[in-house]
Chains A and B, each alone.
Chain A
Amino acid sequence: MASSWQVLLAALPQLAEGLVFSVTLAAVSAIAGMLVGIPIALARISGARALSAVAWAYVTLFRCVPLLLVIFWFYLLMPLLAQRVIGARFPVPIGPVYSAFFTFMIFEAAYYSEIIRAGIQSVARGQYEAGRALCLSSVDLYRYVVLPQAIRRMLPILLTQTVILFQDTSLVYVLTLPDFVGVAARLGQREGQLPFFYILIAVVFFAISFALSRAVRQLELRGAAAAY
């Protein structure tokens, strides 16, 4: 039987592809999730009552259910929904890959929107009042006074959430995708080296998450220094 290291060497290209898939999933859904999260955050802090109620319901719904349940939701329900929308006779196959990207974008948007909302609301009232007293227009008030402060405050938290998102991409394992955990676990099973490959998965995730969270902490310290 080949040693674990020989197996690993032969499997490197596949593992790399799996890792690229997981990182892409995390990066794409982080960017898309933030883009979807911005209007939700704005809706929540807008004065319009109906609008903010809808945004609140969205956020509360996704923050109360496990990501795994949502992964199955979309995987099982999107084909049925698509069938109904376009009036097809059979459920429309969407496939686990698109389903995963869509799920993460929609799910993470709820979390990102809360961080964005908290960031905007953390800017002291006096800043708004001072801006108004200087006769800044609403656009200028946000552009030059509120957002620069809010973004500096929310950036580390948005990035921390993205590290969590990267770790959570491991859950797409349940859809049998070509993601890092899925690829490595299947290789381990095939080669009879399951423990070795699971430890490998843990080491790789640890290295990436640890490096990223260190970088976020540096950014946070620099932001705190710049604020004074």
Chain B
Amino acid sequence: MFDFSFLTAPASLSFGESNLELILSGWKASVLAFLAAMALALLLGIPVGVFRTVPRPGLLRRAAGCFVELFRNVPMLVQLFLWFFVLPELLPRSAGNWLKRDLPDPEFWTLAAALGFFMSARVAEIVRAGLQSLPRGQREASLAIGFREVHVYVLILLPQVLRIVFPPLTTEFANCFKATAIGLTIGYIELTQRTREISEQTFRTFEIFLVATLVYMLSIFTITMLLQAAERALRLPGLAPRTAGH
């Protein structure tokens, strides 16, 4: 009933690659976008999460709050369209033209930026919740023995928080990998798009979607396992995170 032989057959409209190789190239594109987006999300999200908890309310805390609300309340797909179709029009002409004409791999970089900002709001919320879950005494004790505010965060609070946020962060890593699929709406050829193309050309719809589903599942399991291993390796004796639900 099912026939998987098309996987090793050369794909139509390709340079001799088999359908399986096309799927794998789509997977690689998904992985690259995921890595770039997640790197950006951590880079932005951790400071934003920290700024949301600074003790004195001020411009910094309010700006971080606005950042999170803005990137959390607009759908990911709409954000991607804003980056791809709207941003070049709003920028000064020369910068807009550069984005439209000269940026190499525009689909990849736009997807990475859009996903990175979208995920950074979620990372920030996780970091904020982690910081607020620490006992107040940690901060107070550090200040009492003469640490400066910056050092309280960098030397005392963050090393603890970045360990306890692993379980919720793992969920967001998985979400980010899945979210790379929206790249297909701006012409980024990733796993879901490859799956559709092969399905259209071979009419082996069921089989190719089954393969793609398995590839996604394996990828998510791998991401989860790697992060769990990292969490165990970094764990401090006596400071194990409470077992949060997946």
Contacts and interface: CB of A to CB of B under 8 A. Distances in A.
Interface residues of A, number: 35
A77 interface: yes
Contacts of B76: 167, 170
B74 A206 contact: yes
Interface stretch (A34-42, A68-76, A136-144): A68-76
A194 B88 CA distance: 12
A173 B185 contact: yes
B236 to A, nearest CB: 27
Contacts of B73: 167, 205-206, 209-210, 213
Interface of B: 69-70, 72-79, 81-82, 85-86, 89-90, 174, 178-182, 184-185, 191-192, 195-196, 199, 205-206, 209, 212-213, 216-217, 220-221, 245
A198 B74 contact: no
Given A69-B212, A76-B209, A173 B77 contact: yes
Interface in A146-186: 167-168, 170-171, 173-174, 181, 185
A61 B213 contact: yes
A198 B221 CA distance: 35
Main secondary structure of the interface of A (DSSP, over half): helix
Contact of A64 (B89, B179, B206, B217): B217
A201 B85 CA distance: 13
Contact of A198 (B78, B192, B216): B78
B213 A195 contact: no
A45 B69 CA distance: 35
Nearest to B30: A66
A66 B209 contact: no
A87 to B, nearest CB: 15
Contacts of B209: 69, 72-73, 76-77
Interface in A39-96: 60-61, 63-69, 72-73, 76-77, 80
Contacts of B70: 206
B85 A167 contact: no
